[in-house]
Amino acid sequence: MWKEFKEFAFKGNVLDLAMGVIMGGAFGKIVTSVVNDLIMPLLGFFMAGMDFKSLKYVMSPAVMEGETIIKPEAAIMYGNFIQNVVDFLIVAISIFIFIKLINKSKDKFIKQQEAVPAPEEPKGPTQEELLAEIRDLLKDNQ
């Protein structure tokens, strides 16, 4: 059982998948940072200083007594939703462009390989030549 597990776990496909998940997580953090730190502040600036994270629809306001919150507000945080949609769209577009570039380079490589003629294999002796050689060897041994 251990041997079968090792064969499965250390095959190239599983290791490639693990590497892809790790790289995808790191890429996701970079894209999230780009959205949160660059794109959304720019959109907010062009939309009269609006902060998307603070956009919400308050269904019932918070009930407070001095500084103490008696009942927290019930709100739909659609600003976070907008930010997550923008984040998703940027990740999806980035992955689409990356895959498109990989497929284009792969197609180019395949076309180059098809254009190069396959080297001809050297012709071996014919059946008659082999039989004549065997006959001659038998004559020499007698």
Residue-wise pLDDT tens digits, 6-26: 776 666 667 777 777 888 888
Burial class (CB in 10 A: 0-12, 13-18, 19+), 32: middle
Quick one: which H or E segment has residue 64? strand 63-65
Position 50 pLDDT exceeds 80: no
- Reduced DSSP (H G I as helix, E B as strand, rest coil) percent helix, strand, coil of the chain, to 5: 70, 10, 20
User: Which tens digits make up the pLDDT trace of 62-84?
Assistant: 888 888 888 888 988 888 888 78
User: What is the pLDDT confidence band of residue 45, given thresholds at 50, 70 and 90?
Assistant: confident
Q: Which of 86, 93, 30 is nearest to 55 (CA)?
A: 86
User: Which tens digits make up the pLDDT trace of 127-142?
Assistant: 888 899 989 888 888 7
With tokens 């970079």, the residue in question is 30
CA–CA dist 70, 102 (Å, integer): 56
- Domains of the chain by start residue, with CATH: 2-116 (1.10.1200.120)
